[in-house]
Amino acid sequence: MEASFSRRKVLEPAELKALNEKSDFFGALQMASHLGAIAIVCVLHAKVTGTWWVLLSGFVLGVLINFLYAAQHELSHGTVFKTRIINEFFGRLIGFTMIFPRDFDQIMHFAHHQYTQDWERDGELVREPYTLTTYLLWLSGITYWRNRVFGVVRRAMGKIVEPFITRDEEAKVILESRLHVVGYLLIALISFYFQSWVAVTFWILPMLLAKPVHQLQNTIEHLGLSHESDILDNTRSTRTNFIMRWLCWQMPYHTAHHTFPTVPFWKLKTLNAKLEDSVGEVHRMGWIEFQIAVIKKLLQKDESQYPMNEVWVVPTSGGRVMKMQAEG
């Protein structure tokens, strides 16, 4: 992807080399804290089963599981651990948990980085323009899970329709999907044999029902921004607190991540500061602020009716667009 600014103006080669340095320690610390939080909530969830508190513990558990995709994302980039095979191991494990096979996700996501906001080639933009109805269905998780489950099954049957998957990649994507389907069937059979609801109670149900919280981050990163190739205009960061940044594996610094995707997640705050020192404030909105703004826009007309080369979801005050308009 080409950008309208020089990356060299943001970082000198020596600075980038230092920021690109990976660490098994910091990767393990983040992974352990996330998985540890899930383990603790699982224990609490078991203890409150049979009471109304189970609704709260199940919700928290579902949020923690859904945000494991942030780990999968970084593992696909190979930036969590310095040791490559550990990245792949955890990537496949979490991909199985998320019903989002690692190889498929990696291929799709790399196409997303290479062709961000390009309707024809962005791996994460293979959809029709949103109407209010289709957006709310996606935000709720209903169509998200439909696409995930039926997508894995379809690819396991050998049917590849995704334009970002090349012929050379088809075989491994099909094999991966088949292994996932076999794994899910084994879990279902074992659960049926032992008449156990553990998989449903501690995994499937919380993950399905809490998806809308994770969608707040998924939808804010690019929707309503320009479809031109300028990273500064087609990518949005998120205004949030340190707890949510931990939960998202620092992905709220999303513009910084897209500018230098090889920089590990735990260095994105530093990278973001250097980026904004160089180019000024990046696009940034809060989760709820964004949802209110985009729903208001879609109430007026569907996504296809907004200019593709302009930013059409903007903050009510502050932010890159407002600043640019004031300067203009």
Tell me the residue type at 122: D
Q: Compute the distance between CA of residue 203 and CA of residue 212 in angstroms, rounded to an integer.
A: 16
Which residues on adjacent β-strands are paired with residue 285?
A: 238
Q: Which of 152, 158, 209, 196 is nearest to 177 (CA)?
A: 152
CA within 13 Å, CB half, 97:
22
> pLDDT under 50 in the chain at which residues?
1-3, 325-328
Tell me the residue type at 269: K
Q: Which of 214, 216, 230, 221 is nearest to 284 (CA)?
A: 221
pLDDT of residue 10: 83
The answer to whether the CB of 54 falls within 8 A of the CB of 48 is yes
For helices 53-66 and 68-77, angle between their N-to-C axes, nearest 10 degrees: 10
Tell me the residue type at 203: W
Quote the tokens at residue 90: 């955890």
pLDDT averaged over the chain? 94
Quote the tokens at residue 9: 């103006």
Sign of CA dihedral 137, 66, 151, 305: positive
Dihedral angle computed from the Cα positions of residues 286, 73, 227 and 289, in that order, rounded to the nearest 10 degrees: -10
pLDDT of residue 319: 57
pLDDT of residue 170: 98
With a CB cutoff of 8 Å and minimum separation 6, the contacts of 193 are none
Backbone angles phi, psi at 100, to 5 degrees: -145, 80
pLDDT of residue 327: 47
Indicate the SS3 state at residue 268: helix
pLDDT of residue 316: 77
